[in-house]
Amino acid sequence: FISLLKNANFIIGNSSCIIKEALYLNINGILVGSRQDGRTDINKTIRVNAEEKDILEAILNTSKCTNITNKRLEILNSSEQFYRLLKNNILFTINKQKIFMDKK
């Protein structure tokens, strides 16, 4: 995946890899929808609604996006931080972003 990403012109979707791996590799990203809302805003990430017109416009504008920075996200001791949150019963208070339906 990383080999493909580092050779891409941009990445599009709703995955956190757009604001993590793509940022690290200086690849422009288009975030579709609200799944990553609440995360650190990255200047080179274009955020759009899940509408065809908005997505197509964002694709056309990726070549104009010149605000590529060398800013890299650093997550230090993330497993320890996550464990501390679980241990102290600190849970996320946002609505679920994914809905799972059992097959009948």
Q: Is residue 84 one of the residues assigned to a domain?
A: no
Predicted pLDDT at 76:
64
Q: Is residue 81 one of the residues assigned to a domain?
A: no
Q: Is residue 102 one of the residues assigned to a domain?
A: no
Predicted pLDDT at 40:
65
Q: Nearest 5 degrees, angle CA 85-CA 87-CA 88?
A: 65
HSE-up of residue 58 (Cα within 13 Å, Cβ side)? 22
Q: How does residue 56 score in pLDDT terms, banded at 50, 70 and 90?
A: very high
Name the residue range of residue 10's domain.
2-73
The predicted model gives 58-62 an average pLDDT of 86
